[in-house]
Chain A
Amino acid sequence: MTHLHLDSIVKRYDSFTALKGVSLEVKRGEFLCFLGPSGCGKTTLLRVIAGLDPQSEGRVTLDGRDVSRQPPSARNYGIVFQSYALFPNLTVAKNVAYGLKLDRAATKARVDELLALVGLPESGPKYPGQLSGGQQQRVALARALAPSPGLLLLDEPLSALDARVRGHLRQQIKDLHRRLGITTIMVTHDQEEALTMADRIVVMNHGVIDQVGTPDEIYRHPATPFVADFVGAMNFLPGIAGEDGVVHVGDARLHSNSDLAPGAAVTVCLRPEDVVARHQNGANRIEATIEALEFIGPFHRARLHAPELGSHRLTADFSANLVRDLDLVIGGRLPVMLPRERLRVFPVA
Chain B
Amino acid sequence: MSATAAAMPKPQSKPKTKPARSPRPVETADSRLLNGGTLILALFLTVFVLLPLGAIFLRSLYDRNDTFVGLANFATFLGTPALSASIGNSLSVALVSTVITVILAFLFAFSITRTGMAGKGWFKAVAQIPILAPSLLPAISLVYLFGNKGMLRDVMMGHSVYGPIGIVLGEVFYCFPHAVMILVVALSTADARLYEAAESLGAGPWRRFWTITLPGARYGLISAIFVVFTLVVTDFGIPKVIGGNYNVLATDVYKQVIGQQNFGMGAVIGMVLLLPALLAFVADWLGQRRQMALLSARSVPYVPPKSVWGDRLALGYCLLIAALLVGMLGVSAYASLVKFWPYNLSLTLANYDFEQFDPAGWGSYANSLRLAAWTAVAGTAVIFTGAYLVERSAALPALKLTVRLLAIVPLAVPGMVLGLAYIFFFNAPWNPLNGLYNTLAILVLSTLVHFYTVGHLTAATALKQLDPEFESVSASLKVPVWKTFGRVTVPLCLPAILDIGIYLFVNAMTTVSAVVFLYSPDTKPAAVAVLHMDDAGETAGAAAMAMMIVYTSIAVRVLHAGLGAWLGRRSQRWRAR
Whether chain B is bound by chain A comes out as yes
Option from A56, A72, A153 in Cβ contact (under 8 Å) with B22:
A56
Option from B13, B23, B475, B576 in Cβ contact (under 8 Å) with A129:
B576
Shortest Cβ distance from B13 into A: residue? A23
A129 touches B470 (CB 8 A): no
Contact residues of B between 1 and 16, Cβ < 8 Å to A: 1-6, 8-9, 11-13, 15
**With A and B bound together, what is the CA distance between A58 and B19 in angstroms?**
5
A7 touches B470 (CB 8 A): no
**With A and B bound together, what is the CA distance between A59 and B576 in angstroms?**
45
- Within 8 Å CB of A59, what residues of B? 19-20, 23
- Of the listed residues B4, B5, B488, the one surrounded by the most CB atoms of chain A closer than 10 A to its CB is B5
Partner-contacting stretch, out of A47-55, A177-185, A294-302, A315-323: A47-55
**With A and B bound together, what is the CA distance between A57 and B20 in angstroms?**
6
A99 within 8 A of B: yes
Show 21 residue pairs from A and B whose CB-CB distance is below 8 angstroms, ordered by the A residue.
Answer: A7-B15, A7-B19, A52-B472, A55-B23, A66-B20, A69-B25, A70-B26, A72-B475, A72-B476, A78-B476, A81-B469, A84-B467, A85-B470, A87-B470, A98-B473, A99-B476, A144-B476, A209-B12, A212-B9, A256-B2, A344-B4
**With A and B bound together, what is the CA distance between A247 and B21 in angstroms?**
46
- Within 8 Å CB of A260, what residues of B? 1-2
Residues of A bordering B, CB below 8 Å:
7-8, 10, 21-23, 50-52, 54-59, 66, 68-75, 77-79, 81, 83-85, 87-90, 98-99, 127-130, 143-144, 146-147, 149, 153, 208-213, 217, 221-223, 256-260, 343-347
**With A and B bound together, what is the CA distance between A84 and B475 in angstroms?**
15
- Within 8 Å CB of A66, what residues of B? 20
A70 touches B25 (CB 8 A): yes
A223 touches B11 (CB 8 A): yes
Shortest Cβ distance from A144 into B: residue? B476
A54 touches B23 (CB 8 A): yes
B15 touches A74 (CB 8 A): no
The 3 A-B pairs with the shortest beta carbon distances in the complex, nearest first, are: A99-B477, A72-B475, A85-B469
B479 touches A223 (CB 8 A): no
Partner-contacting stretch, out of B52-60, B399-407, B567-575: B567-575
The answer to whether residues A127 and B573 also contact, given A223-B11, A259-B2 and a CB cut-off of 8 A, is yes
A71 touches B2 (CB 8 A): no
**With A and B bound together, what is the CA distance between A210 and B571 in angstroms?**
49
- Within 8 Å CB of B23, what residues of A? 54-55, 57, 59, 68-69
Option from B5, B15, B476 in Cβ contact (under 8 Å) with A79:
B476
A-B contact sample (19 more), CB < 8 A, given A51-B475, A143-B477, A346-B2: A57-B19, A58-B20, A59-B19, A69-B20, A71-B28, A73-B28, A81-B469, A85-B468, A87-B470, A87-B487, A88-B575, A98-B477, A98-B479, A144-B477, A221-B5, A223-B5, A259-B6, A260-B1, A346-B5
Shortest Cβ distance from A76 into B: residue? B478
Residues of B bordering A, CB below 8 Å:
1-6, 8-9, 11-13, 15, 17, 19-26, 28, 30-31, 467-470, 472-479, 487-488, 491-492, 571, 573-577
A258 touches B2 (CB 8 A): yes
Option from B4, B20, B476, B477 in Cβ contact (under 8 Å) with A68:
B20
- Within 8 Å CB of A343, what residues of B? 2
A344 touches B571 (CB 8 A): no
**With A and B bound together, what is the CA distance between A139 and B470 in angstroms?**
15
A88 touches B574 (CB 8 A): yes
**With A and B bound together, what is the CA distance between A90 and B489 in angstroms?**
11
Option from B474, B574, B575 in Cβ contact (under 8 Å) with A98:
B474
Shortest Cβ distance from A94 into B: residue? B487
- Of the listed residues B4, B17, B28, B575, the one surrounded by the most CB atoms of chain A closer than 10 A to its CB is B4
- Within 8 Å CB of B15, what residues of A? 7-8, 21, 23
A17 CB to nearest B CB, Å: 14
A191 CB to nearest B CB, Å: 17
**With A and B bound together, what is the CA distance between A128 and B576 in angstroms?**
10
B19 touches A8 (CB 8 A): yes
A77 touches B8 (CB 8 A): no
Option from B20, B26, B472, B478 in Cβ contact (under 8 Å) with A50:
B472
Option from A22, A57, A71 in Cβ contact (under 8 Å) with B26:
A71
